[in-house]
Amino acid sequence: MLRIHEIFHSLQGESSRVGLPTVFVRLTGCPMRCVYCDTEYAFKGGTNMSLDEIMAQVAGYGARYVCVTGGEPLAQKKGCLALLQRLCDEGYAVSLETGGAVATDGVDERVAVILDIKTPGSGELTNNKWENLQRLKPNDEIKFVLCSREDYDWAKQLLAEHALNEKCQVIFSPVFSQVKPTDLADWVLADKLPVRMQVQLHKILWGETPGK
């Protein structure tokens, strides 16, 4: 059984799959409290669901892409790993959005892991499990959510020190309402960084509406 906060159909607002119709399976609970969190409503509540119940609801939307997210989905690690494998076995293109505070060992190799590295401005820097970087595959992605110019400079240094862009795609994203997207775009261009700059499409379309 997994504690599920919501399952919904929308356009992927982030990652390299941005804009694609996707079914989102949002698990309840998270061990972190990032200062910019936009899914605090998923910290508690939800409904206990079996894998069969989840799969039936996912299938009802008729989408190829499925994103398992949270909260922190790996906080329910055993059940989450089983769900990821089941989704892959049934032919879905699966991504996992994780905040990086839980080890990603055991995640099905077919899953695209979207690893959110916490910056100093997030308030959760000390919870990064750096060993997760060693598990990254070419089809995975690293995401930095940036609160300030200081966060940008920190992420730029980490990018260079660990040659992160040689491991997989790297995304720099501004915190909604804290960093101007045009500023971040200018910084990336000026520094000629090998990263993808991205804004959250779903917030442009629907604002902070849950389930979108």
Binding-site positions for [4Fe-4S] cluster: 30, 34, 37
Q: Which residues are annotated as a binding site for S-adenosyl-L-methionine?
A: 36-38, 71
Phi, psi of 40 (to 5 degrees): -60, -25
How many whole angstroms separate alpha carbon 104 and alpha carbon 191?
Answer: 31
Helix (H, G, I), strand (E, B) or coil at 96: strand
Q: Which residues are annotated as a binding site?
A: 11-13, 26, 30, 34, 36-39, 69, 71
Residues 6 or more apart whose Cβ sits within 8 Å of residue 107: 81, 84, 96, 113, 135
Longest dimension (CA), the chain: 50
How many whole angstroms separate alpha carbon 18 and alpha carbon 103?
Answer: 25
10 Å Cβ neighbour count for 12?
A: 18
Q: Evaluate whether 139 touches 112 at the Cβ level (below 8 Å).
A: yes
The separation between CA 82 and the C-alpha centre of its own chain, rounded to angstroms, equals 18
Pairing of strands 93-98, 112-117: parallel
- Please state whether the peptide bond connecting residue 207 to the residue before it is cis, i.e. omega within 30 degrees of 0: no
Q: Which residues are annotated as a binding site for Mg(2+)?
A: 39
Q: Which residues are annotated as a binding site for substrate?
A: 11-13, 26, 69
